[in-house]
Structures are given as structure tokens and as C-alpha cells.
């Protein structure tokens, strides 16, 4: 199988299929236990997202921006403080065993940490057999055995015999991650929520798994949420990209638009910092991949991670934004459409609109960092 | 749950917890605990084969009334005889079996209850947890021994020694329930439990198959300790004469020794052996308790090791 970047030229305009799973204005506030009473972590704020069959949406943002929280809410593992999750347009519910099982059959999530997501007491065989027995309508011992092998081969854990009887602690992080992926695929869901699906994998395996997922997406119309730190990589794999900062989706658009003509300063920052390690000090090593290489964060002006208990007023990015204006610190920026299906929350996009008619930020000259 | 990133990977020691290592961890890696467990093991051995050796091989009877009244230790009666002329060694060995059986029943009852209450409360949380927590607290503040004395006094030996064991088991589970609840609480938020839920597993299955096996080390420690404390409690009741006086146990031995004024008669061989048996067992329990405390409470161990991160520190013993 040759790694083949899927055509990112696909525009959302060509016959949008109806969304399978939809988040509408979802907000999640976690209670703070060892703080003053009533304080909460504002982990997710009014986030909306649509996952369509055969489409992949990337969720990118630095560590702590609320990506996992969003995915867990979509999986109904986390009760939203407000807002709703719709499955095929109907409010989704996982109250009671029956509803949970029905939901699980359609929506599966791969949790972020493969060291925590597999019970250390169970063998791989058990871990993969459960979804098959719960959702796979297996016919017997033989059938199970065959499907187990097929699953392991699918995620390139070969030969299967070597892995079936292994305990999680006998596997590497990447191998565990693939067991976790196989576990979700065993259900044959309509929606796959992948939290850092491939970040633990070697590059070669990563491409194979991405190709597998791309095939599932194209042939079986799997809808996918692809959480990643790697915005550049997301461009080649996903149709649309949602950029998150401090619990808010700050920019949304096709993968092409967001990476080629980013509208939000934070998106530009993410893009700029991806290939060039020197720039990363700007992000103060807040992304997982650069933790070791980033210089000391403390003496960096822009390095302050946002306090989610008392988030910055106005635009949450303004304390770190090189272009912050007075209004940025007082008022929440509106959602500005910069192109068809491409929008961002930023005051910079509003102001120049008075002078120019359209304001694609990529043309703002001083925006180079 | 805290504000810190929820993604901290498990420490390797927790990682390596498999069925095999879980079984191995039933024997704590701590010298005090091991010595204590070894002592308890000797008692179990005596209870298992002792009566057969004493009665069949040595031909001694714990209840037969012989003419040899209140004799000091000799070849025929290694630990002497009682005022009724019964053999003290035979009584001691048979009494060990009775005491251990009664204690084991009480321990199984209280441990089962503590696991059920702690697991269900910790797993479901919310109202269920509040109700069970209130129940647990009620049993914690109940004056345990007086209650047992009242109940046992009411029973007056009816139902045999096992009725007393039930009473002790039913009143002594609260401490254990607390520690199980705390452990379950920390397991409930773990990704593999969340993952099982997202897969559509039933709550019962998650509790029994995902959570319970991870509680095994704590459960075994509780079982051990409640075994010993139950034995002590039963012995105490028997000694006070409110247990089943027809059975031969350490407690009834002491009761009759005291009734017949063995002390005044200088018949030390009558009351010292059961006294020593009880004391040594109590010491063994103390050793196990200290040992487990050291294992689970990093503050007692100098520089905190890995267990510091994998287990919640506990103020009290594991019971
Ligand atoms: N259960 C929880 N209780 C309280 N706070 C939480 C909880 N889970 C997450 N948080 C907080 O919410 C914020 C968002 O966390 P989240 O895990 O969603 O970020 P993330 O984007 O997935 O980060 P990463 O890239 O490191 O995985 C963080 O500040 C985190 O500390
Ligand atoms: Mg995350």
C-alpha cells in the first residue's frame, strides 16, 4: 500500500451529505475541587461541529485547549454543561444500558492515552473480543477467532498469534494504540472519534493506519473526528480543520483554506511553528511534540498558558496575540466569514472591513511573525 | 478529579499489574507483613491438621472427662489437664480450628459486604454513594463491641458459634468499605473504565471484570485483618461467657479457666496456652497491618517510591 495523500481539493460544496453527529453550542465547565467554591474550568465554550459520513474533520490546538473534552462530550462520556449532541438530527442519549449500547454501535472513540485506555489485567484477545461479542453479531468460536485475526492484521499487528495472548504491558505505546484502534473498528461504527490516533506510531505505520482509515472513510463512509497537534499533517488527511484555542473554536474551514490562507493569528502561529523548531518558543512548548526541544517557557512573554478557571476577557488569545488591539481585551470577537465555509473569530478581520471590502488575513502584510 | 492534565500516564508499577502479578501481590513485598502472614499460616496449618494429629495419633480428647484432674504438663498430657480432667493441648488445638473457622466466616461476611458497598458506592457515585456512605458512617460510629455483646447475649449460644460469626461480620465491614470506595473512585475515572463504558459494557460487568480485579490486593489485606480481628472478637465473647459455651475454643477455655479459678490454683498450663495463642495472633495481625500501611502509605517509607502515585495514602490501616 503506498501512502497516498487523499485529494484535499474536495470542497464542502459538492453534495454535502447530512451530518451523522453534530455538536450544537456545547459548553463544558469542570468543577474545581481544591479551589474556592463555585469556580470552574472553562474547558469548552459554545463549540459546534458537524461530522458527515465519508468526511474527516481535524481538531487542532495546543495542549489543554479542550480537544479531548470535546471528543469525550461527543462520545457522551462527558455531560455537557449546556448545548446538545445530535445523532442523525435527534438529541443523542446514552442513559441506560440499551441506549448506551445503541450509541456505542454508531459512535466509537479511541481514547488519547494508550497506556491508560487498556485494562492491564486483560489480554489483547479479551480486549478485542468484547466489542465483537457486544456489537459484531458473531456466530461462534471459529468466527470470533477469524475476526480477531482480521482485526489485528488490519492494524498491522502481525502475526496475530503473537499479539492475541499478550497483556498490554508487553506492548509498546504504538502497539497499544493500534489495539485501541482495532477495538473501535471492531464495532464497525458510523463515527470514529480519534484522539491523537496516530501520534504514538512510527511514521511508516502511521501512514498505513491513515490509509486504512482513509479507505474506511471512502468505502464505508465512516465519519471521523481526527484530533491532532499536527496541523500540517492534518491538511493531508482531513477535509476540514477546526482550530481550538483555550476551549473555543477560533477558526474553521476546509483543510486547504485553513492551512493556505489562515485567518486567525493563532492558526498562523500554529502553522509557522510546525516546521521550524526555532519558532516554537513562541508557543512555549505547550504542544506535546515539542516539550523537550522548547526553551524555558517562563521568560517568554507569549508563553503564558491561558488560565481556564478565569479565562482572559474578550478574545481569549489576546494576551498572547502579537496584533492585539484594545477591543480584543474587552469584547468577544464576532464570527467573521472569510470565504465560503471558512470563518474565524477575530477582531482583526472586522476592522479592515471598513476600508477594504474583503479581508483575507493572509494579505495583511504585518502578520508575518 | 483535579484540574491537572488528566493524561498523566500510569506509572510502570501499576502498568505491570496482571492476573499473575496481582496474585503475587497478594503476598505483600514487605518483611513485617510477610512475618505476620507466616504466623497466620502456621495457625491455619494447626487448624487444618492439628485436631487429627492430636486426637487420632496422640489419642487425646478435648472433651473426655478423665480422672486426671488439674495435672501439670507431663508425657501423657503435654500441656496438662483441666479441672474436669480434659487435655489442654487437645482443647487448644481443637479450639484453634473452631476459632479460625468462626473467624474465617466472619471475615468472609464482612469482606464481602465491604467490597459490595465500597464498589457500588464508589462506582455509581451520586445518590447511591450518599446512601451507602451514610450507612457506612452509621456502622462506623456504632459502638461495635457493645452491639456485638448485646446481639450475642440475645442469641445465647443459639445457632452455635457461627451465629456469633455472622453478627461480627455484619457489624465489622464499615472500615473496609471505606477503603474499597476510595480505590474504586480512583479507578472509576481511569481511561480503561471509561473505555469499557463507551464500548457499551454493562455496569455490572464493568464493576466485576474491570474494577474488581484491580482491587484484589486491598481485598486480600482486608480479608487477612478481619480474619484476625474477628477471631479476637469471638474469643472475647466466649471469654465473657456470651458465646457458645458448648464449643471448644480459646475463649471458652479461658472462660472455664477463670470460672474454676485456675489462676488461684496455680494451674498456669490451663490459661497460658490459649492466652499466648490469642496474643501471638494479635501480634501477627499488627505486623500485617503495619506492613501494609508501609506499602500503601508512602510517608512511612522514607523517600516515596512508585506506590506513592498508584495508591491513595490512607491514614488508618487497610481494614
Ligand atoms: N475531568 C476534568 N476535571 C477538571 N478539569 C479537566 C478535566 N478534564 C480536563 N480538564 C481540563 O480541561 C482543559 C482541557 O483539557 P483537554 O484534555 O480537553 O485538553 P486537550 O486539548 O485534549 O489537551 P492535550 O492536547 O494535552 O490532550 C485542561 O485545562 C484540563 O486540565
Ligand atoms: Mg487531549
The CATH number of the domain holding residue B37 is: 1.10.3720.10
Taking CA atoms, what residue in B is nearest to A100?
A: B200
CB-CB neighbors (< 8 A) of A189 in chain B: none
Where chain B has pLDDT below 50, the residues are 1-15, 302-319
Contact A77/B200, CB-based, under 8 Å?
Answer: no
> B24 vs A30, which has greater pLDDT?
A30
- Over residues A180-193, the mean pLDDT reads 95
- With a cut of 90, say whether residue A249 has pLDDT above it: yes
Write the CB contacts of A118 (distance below 8 Å, at least 6 apart in sequence): A127, A168, A176, A179, A180, B192, B195
Question: What part of A 212-271 touches B (C-beta under 8 Å)?
Answer: none
Residue A117 near residue B198, CB atoms below 8 Å: no
Q: Is residue B128 part of a domain?
A: yes
Question: Which pLDDT does position B12 carry in this prediction?
Answer: 39
- Domain extent, residue B49, equals 19-69+77-298
Write the CB contacts of A242 (distance below 8 Å, at least 6 apart in sequence): A49, A57, A58, A59, A60, A249, A251, A252
Distance CA B101, CA B107 (A): 10
- With a cut of 50, say whether residue A237 has pLDDT above it: yes
Question: Which pLDDT does position A304 carry in this prediction?
Answer: 64
Q: Is residue B12 part of a domain?
A: no
Dig out the grid coordinates for B315 from the structure: 491514614
Question: Which pLDDT does position A132 carry in this prediction?
Answer: 94
Question: Which pLDDT does position B16 carry in this prediction?
Answer: 54
Check CB contact of B216 with chain A, cutoff 8 Å.
Answer: no
CB-CB neighbors (< 8 A) of B212 in chain A: none
Confidence of residue A8 (pLDDT cuts 50, 70, 90): very low
Q: Is residue B277 part of a domain?
A: yes
Contact B192/A119, CB-based, under 8 Å?
Answer: yes
Taking CA atoms, what residue in A is nearest to B212?
A: A121
The 3-state DSSP class for residue A369 equals coil
Q: How many folded domains does chain B comprise?
A: 1
Q: Is residue B182 part of a domain?
A: yes
Helix axes B160-171, B88-124, angle to 10 degrees: 30
Q: Which ligand is nearest to the CA of A65?
A: 1
Ramachandran angles phi, psi of B93, nearest 5°: -70, -45
Q: Is residue B308 part of a domain?
A: no
The one-character DSSP state at A51 is E
Question: Which pLDDT does position A359 carry in this prediction?
Answer: 42
Q: Is residue B37 part of a domain?
A: yes
CB of A308 shorter than 6 A to ligand 1: yes
- Over residues A133-144, the mean pLDDT reads 88
Domains detected in chain A: 21-277 (3.40.50.300)
Report which listed range, A45-54, A317-326, B22-31, is most confident.
Answer: A45-54
Question: Which pLDDT does position B121 carry in this prediction?
Answer: 95
- Over residues A341-358, the mean pLDDT reads 73
- Over residues A312-340, the mean pLDDT reads 90
Taking CA atoms, what residue in B is nearest to A109?
A: B198
pLDDT in tens, A9-20: 444 445 688 999
Question: Which pLDDT does position B198 carry in this prediction?
Answer: 93
- With a cut of 70, say whether residue A124 has pLDDT above it: yes
The neighbour count for residue B66, using CB atoms within 10 Å, is 16
Cα–Cα distances in angstroms (integers) from residue A356 to residues A349, A350, A360, in the given order? 10, 10, 10
Q: Is residue B103 part of a domain?
A: yes
Q: Is residue B7 part of a domain?
A: no
Amino acid at each position: 500500500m503506498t501512502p497516498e495523500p487523499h485529494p484535499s481539493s474536495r470542497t464542502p460544496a459538492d453534495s454535502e451529505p447530512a451530518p451523522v453527529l453534530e455538536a450544537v453550542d456545547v459548553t463544558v465547565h469542570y468543577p474545581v475541587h481544591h479551589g474556592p467554591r463555585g469556580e470552574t474550568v472553562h474547558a469548552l465554550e459554545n463549540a459546534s461541529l458537524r461530522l458527515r459520513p465519508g468526511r474527516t474533520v481535524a481538531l487542532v490546538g495546543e495542549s489543554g485547549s479542550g480537544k479531548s473534552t470535546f471528543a469525550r462530550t461527543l462520545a457522551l462520556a462527558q455531560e455537557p454543561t449546556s448545548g446538545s449532541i445530535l445523532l442523525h438530527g435527534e438529541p443523542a442519549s446514552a442513559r441506560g444500558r440499551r441506549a448506551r449500547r445503541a450509541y456505542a454501535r454508531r459512535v466509537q472513540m479511541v481514547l488519547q492515552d494508550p497506556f491508560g485506555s487498556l485494562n492491564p489485567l486483560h489480554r489483547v484477545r479479551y480486549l478485542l473480543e468484547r466489542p465483537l461479542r457486544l456489537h459484531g453479531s458473531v456466530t461462534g468460536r471459529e468466527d470470533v477467532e477469524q475476526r480477531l485475526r482480521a482485526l489485528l492484521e488490519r492494524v498491522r499487528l502481525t502475526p496475530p498469534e503473537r499479539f492475541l495472548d499478550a497483556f498490554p504491558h508487553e506492548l509498546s505505546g504504538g502497539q497499544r494504540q493500534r489495539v485501541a484502534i482495532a477495538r473501535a473498528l471492531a464495532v464497525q461504527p458510523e463515527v470514529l472519534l480519534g484522539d491523537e490516533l496516530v501520534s504514538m506510531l512510527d511514521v511508516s505505520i502511521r501512514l498505513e493506519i491513515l490509509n486504512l482509515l482513509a479507505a474506511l472513510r471512502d468505502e464505508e463512509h465512516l465519519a471521523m473526528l481526527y484530533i491532532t497537534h499536527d496541523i500540517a499533517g492534518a491538511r493531508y488527511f482531513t477535509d476540514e480543520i477546526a482550530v481550538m484555542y483555550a476551549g473555543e473554536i477560533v477558526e474553521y474551514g476546509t483543510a486547504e483554506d485553513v492551512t493556505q490562507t489562515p485567518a486567525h493569528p493563532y492558526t498562523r502561529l500554529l502553522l509557522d511553528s510546525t516546521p521550524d523548531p526555532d519558532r516554537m518558543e513562541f508557543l512555549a512548548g505547550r504542544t506535546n511534540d515539542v516539550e523537550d526541544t522548547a526553551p524555558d517557557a517562563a521568560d517568554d512573554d507569549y508563553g503564558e498558558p491561558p488560565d481556564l478557571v478565569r479565562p482572559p476577557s474578550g478574545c481569549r488569545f489576546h494576551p498572547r496575540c502579537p496584533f492585539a488591539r484594545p477591543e480584543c481585551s474587552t469584547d468577544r470577537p464576532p464570527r467573521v466569514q472569510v470565504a465560503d465555509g471558512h470563518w474565524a473569530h477575530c477582531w482583526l478581520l472586522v476592522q479592515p472591513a471598513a476600508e477594504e471590502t474583503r479581508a483575507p488575513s493572509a494579505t495583511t502584510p504585518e502578520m508575518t511573525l | 478529579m483535579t484540574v491537572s492534565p488528566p493524561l498523566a500516564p500510569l506509572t510502570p508499577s501499576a502498568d505491570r499489574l496482571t492476573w499473575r502479578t496481582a496474585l503475587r501481590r497478594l503476598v505483600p513485598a514487605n518483611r513485617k507483613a510477610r512475618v505476620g502472614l507466616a504466623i497466620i499460616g502456621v495457625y491455619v496449618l494447626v487448624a487444618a491438621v492439628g485436631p487429627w494429629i492430636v486426637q487420632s495419633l496422640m489419642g487425646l480428647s478435648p472433651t473426655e472427662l478423665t480422672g486426671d484432674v488439674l495435672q501439670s504438663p507431663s508425657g501423657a498430657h503435654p500441656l496438662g489437664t483441666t479441672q474436669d480432667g480434659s487435655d489442654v493441648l487437645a482443647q487448644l488445638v481443637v479450639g484453634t480450628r473452631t476459632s479460625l473457622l468462626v473467624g474465617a466466616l466472619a471475615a468472609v461476611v464482612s469482606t464481602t459486604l465491604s467490597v459490595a458497598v465500597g464498589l457500588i458506592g464508589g462506582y455509581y457515585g451520586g445518590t447511591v454513594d450518599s446512601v451507602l456512605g451514610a450507612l457506612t458512617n452509621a456502622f462506623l460510629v456504632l459502638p461495635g463491641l457493645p452491639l456485638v455483646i448485646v446481639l450475642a447475649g440475645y442469641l445465647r449460644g443459639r445457632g452455635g458459634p457461627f451465629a456469633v460469626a455472622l453478627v461480627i461480620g455484619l457489624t465489622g465491614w464499615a472500615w473496609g468499605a471505606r477503603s474499597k470506595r476510595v480505590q474504586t473512585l480512583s479507578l472509576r475515572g481511569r481511561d480503561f473504565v471509561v473505555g469499557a463504558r463507551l464500548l457499551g459494557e454493562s455496569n455490572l460487568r464493568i464493576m466485576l471484570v474491570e474494577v474488581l480485579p484491580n482491587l484484589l490486593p486491598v481485598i486480600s489485606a482486608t480479608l487477612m485483618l478481619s480474619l484476625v480481628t474477628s477471631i479476637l472478637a469471638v474469643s472475647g465473647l466466649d471469654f465473657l461467657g456470651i458465646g457458645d459455651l458448648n464449643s471448644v475454643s480459646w475463649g471458652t477455655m479461658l472462660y472455664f479457666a477463670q470460672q474454676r479459678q485456675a489462676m488461684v490454683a496455680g494451674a498456669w498450663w490451663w490459661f497460658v496456652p490459649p492466652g499466648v495463642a490469642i496474643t501471638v495472633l494479635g501480634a501477627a495481625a499488627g505486623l500485617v497491618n503495619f506492613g501494609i500501611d508501609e506499602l500503601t502509605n508512602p510517608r512511612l517509607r522514607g523517600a516515596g517510591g512508585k506506590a506513592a502515585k498508584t495508591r491513595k495514602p490512607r491514614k488508618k490501616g487497610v481494614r
